[in-house]
Amino acid sequence: MFRFKFFIISLLFFFSPFFVSADITKSTHVFAVKDGQELKMDIYSLDSIFSKKQPCLIFVFGGGFKGGTRDAKYYNTYFNYFAEKGFKVVSIDYRLGMKNQKAPTVYNNKPLRNAIALAVADLYSATEYLLKHADEFNIDTTKIIISGSSAGAITVLQADYEKRNNRESANILPQSFQYAGVISFAGAIFSEEGKPSYTLTPAPTLFFHGSGDKLVPYKKIRLFSLGMFGSKALAKHFRKQGYPYVFYSMEDIGHEVAFYPMNEFLPEVEHFIREMVFNKKQLMVDINLKDKLRKSNISLTPASYY
């Protein structure tokens, strides 16, 4: 009897993920060479004895399309949290189209449009690389989620928008492929056709944005058919159309919402992924938060940043 119990306990110890001794590993790969620049991705994963295909969380860093790096230390909490939860976390490079450019305005928007196009193209290239190497990296291609901060958030929202509308920019990806979910930390969509509309239903989307953000518009900035449509405007449109989304509106907080939720709202991000992406719940959720203890600097503007 004792030997039988010992055998059962040993099996539980061996097969339970709570008892697996594992470390997060990081590997770096070149996924494209463009304009003479090697574009790399870092893949964070948890070594384990399991071979089941894993969901993939792609991350696009922030920095106004003029700076930033894929491996900045303040992203590590975000990367490690989801790697420990069984995700392949992939942080990518992209070309910085706003380097040495003046602050964008509604009249001077061509450099920004070009920067967004470059970043989206590079995200698509990274996605294509992951699809081609899915078996090698043990990735479930039906569960590829894109997330980003600031410029990266603009990139991921724009990428899903253009893919769902069958834009030529997305032709590098299989027509049957769609991103499973989108997570935006202070992002927006640039549209040349007025209010963004979707031919196909967008991926379930998680928005975080501060109502005091003056760098990436919380609502919208529009001149005729051209405009940047922020989280507030997009969430309103999603609700009207019945698209699944969760919107965390941080009252009187500025652009720092591009960063701190990646440390302070990790369980909420995970809950969104589990319920809205994996379990496909069709929810439309608006959450207004007022943190009386958090002081915010809402003076950051495109003019001061660039």
pLDDT at 205: 98
Full strand arrangement of the beta sheet holding 139-149: 24-34, 37-46, 88-92, 54-60, 139-149, 181-185, 205-210, 245-250, 284-289
Instruction: Give the separation between CA 130 and CA 294, rounded to whole angstroms.
Output: 39
Please state the pTM of the whole predicted model. Answer: 0.91
Instruction: Give the separation between CA 267 and CA 55, rounded to whole angstroms.
Output: 17
pLDDT band at residue 223, thresholds of 50, 70 and 90?
A: confident
Above 60 in pLDDT, residue 286?
A: yes
Above 90 in pLDDT, residue 298?
A: no
For residues 147-172, give the mean pLDDT.
Answer: 98
What is the DSSP annotation of 71-120?
T-GGGHHHHHHHHHTT-EEEEE----TTTTPPPP-SSS-HHHHHHHHHHH
For residues 173-197, give the mean pLDDT.
Answer: 96
Instruction: Give the separation between CA 33 and CA 12, rounded to whole angstroms.
Output: 47
pLDDT at 48: 62
pLDDT at 15: 40
For residues 79-88, give the mean pLDDT.
Answer: 97
Above 90 in pLDDT, residue 172?
A: yes
pLDDT at 3: 47
pLDDT at 22: 62
Most confident of the following: 18-32, 42-56, 239-253: 239-253
pLDDT at 300: 87
Question: 22-26, 76-80, 165-169, 204-208 — which is least confidently predicted?
Answer: 22-26
The residue among 255 and 107 whose pLDDT is bigger is: 255
pLDDT at 19: 37
For residues 39-51, give the mean pLDDT.
Answer: 83
pLDDT band at residue 299, thresholds of 50, 70 and 90?
A: confident
